[in-house]
Amino acid sequence: MYPVLKATALWCIQNNIDIPSDIMTGIAKIFKTVDWYERAMWSLVKDLYRGDIATFEFESSMIEIIQNQLRRAWNEGMRSLGLDPETDMILLWEMALQDIMAQELVFVDPLAAEIVAAFHAGKDVEQFRSRVSVWANRYNDVVNQATQICAKAGQKMKWQYGDTDHCDTCSRLDGIVAYESEWEELGVYPQRPPNPVLECGGWRCQCSIVPTDQRRSPNAYQTIMNIATRI
């Protein structure tokens, strides 16, 4: 179905046939290119300018498109590093993505007001085309940001037993794989006496966290936090 939808949309564009904004929004959910992102937003701008949709409809659709496409961009950045957004996304990265989205969404309401004002003043809607183009290019920027942020904090580290008797905390942490940034954020480290997060206090602890290519443990962050807070 998707190839047919894409082909139909391209035919409409090539023949200067406007695509309804609701359909364009649906297309934008499927395709993650800057081109589709721009076309979807430009379609909404023209619909609002002509009065085909109300301001609240414009804002709602714009918010949906922005959130959908920027998440796609972030996911693309993660996949470029061999990470799976479904299983490898961590709270730190989700917060970074939400912050990026929030920075974009604050401009939606002012843009809507300017479009309506331009119509009533008899100004050409084309004045908004360059702004939409710049906005759409944020897709590539978010791909790059995701790549940089995830690469910087994405080294996976595994808790590994040492040659000694182990406390209950170290026993439960053994084998857990989490990102280096997660271990750091939680403050859970082997040794380093006095260490309040370990039952052994870090004394005579021979455990270590070592780089690994193994998959990150399911719910690693929450699991580590639960273990550490039981002390």
Residue pLDDT, tens place only, 158-192: 988 876 677 888 889 999 998 888 888 888 888 87
For the chain, give every domain's residue range: 2-153, 156-228
pLDDT of residue 54: 95
The answer to whether residues 104 and 138 touch, using CB atoms and an 8 Å cutoff, is yes
Q: Is the dihedral of CA 138, 37, 95, 63 positive or negative?
A: positive
Cis peptide before 196 (omega within 30 of 0): no
Please name the residue that has the structure tokens 């996976």: 156
pTM here is 0.64
Residue length, the chain? 231
For 94-115, write each residue's pLDDT tens digit: 999 999 999 999 999 999 999 9
Q: Which residues of the chain have pLDDT under 70?
A: 1-32, 152-154, 163-164, 231
Q: Say how far apart CA 50 and CA 132 lie, in whole Å.
A: 17
- Strand partners of residue 160: 208
